[in-house]
Amino acid sequence: MKKLMLWVLVLALVFVPVLHAQEIDGAWQGTLQPPAAGAPPLRIVMQLSRGADQAWQARMYSIDQNGQPITGTVTLQGSVVKIAVPAVGGTFEGRLSDDRNAIAGTWTQGGSSPLNLVRATPATAWAIPAPPPPPTPMAANANLAFEVATIKPSNPATPGQSILVGRGGSNLFTTTNTTLNDLITFAYGIQLRQIVGGPSWLEADKFDITAKPEP
């Protein structure tokens, strides 16, 4: 009987973390108040799921801005949920409630702001804006060169991170606070963990880029 009770206890200890991990799957949403004075609140949606490799992943939407998905990585340690979103230089850390329907946490991107997420249901889920039409494919004979480009070290005091193509209808390519690793993942559609063996400055040194393609 003692051996049976011991095995029951062991199985319980094994399955509790698994159940907790399953319980973060789905859509979570909350309102973020940026720290900048006068900045409007932003509705944030985090869609958490497992990838093909069983690693947790996130798709983040700021639906009051452009509503475009931004990918992130997820770490779950007990009841602590951590989400890193390298494309915008942001991180989220929060703790699951006992009923597993809320995550009280903090969003950090330059400064820090409270961000409390609740599990979305079909009745409460915020509508995510439809994505814009895909860009026109580049012509096969396009000139793959920039007419002019500037690359300079980023100002450490500038918060956030961005990679923008054709902002405001222009044909400019601009980045803020981007590392070479960021540019490689953007250009080739790969994950940061796939870049190995390079010098440390690939992920440490940050640059601002403005480039205009040749006609």
Q: What is the pLDDT of residues 187-209, one digit of tens each?
A: 888 888 888 888 999 999 999 99
pLDDT tens for each residue of 105-153: 999 987 899 999 999 999 999 999 887 666 666 677 877 788 888 999 9
Residue 135: its pLDDT value, please? 62
DSSP state of 8: H
Q: What is the pTM of this model?
A: 0.58
The strand ranges marked E within 33-99 are: 42-50, 56-62, 70-77, 80-85, 90-96
- Domains in the chain: ranges and CATH: 7-119 (2.40.128.120), 146-213 (no CATH)
Highest mean pLDDT among 22-26, 31-35, 39-43, 116-120: 116-120
Separation between Cα atoms, residue 68 and residue 135, nearest integer Å: 14
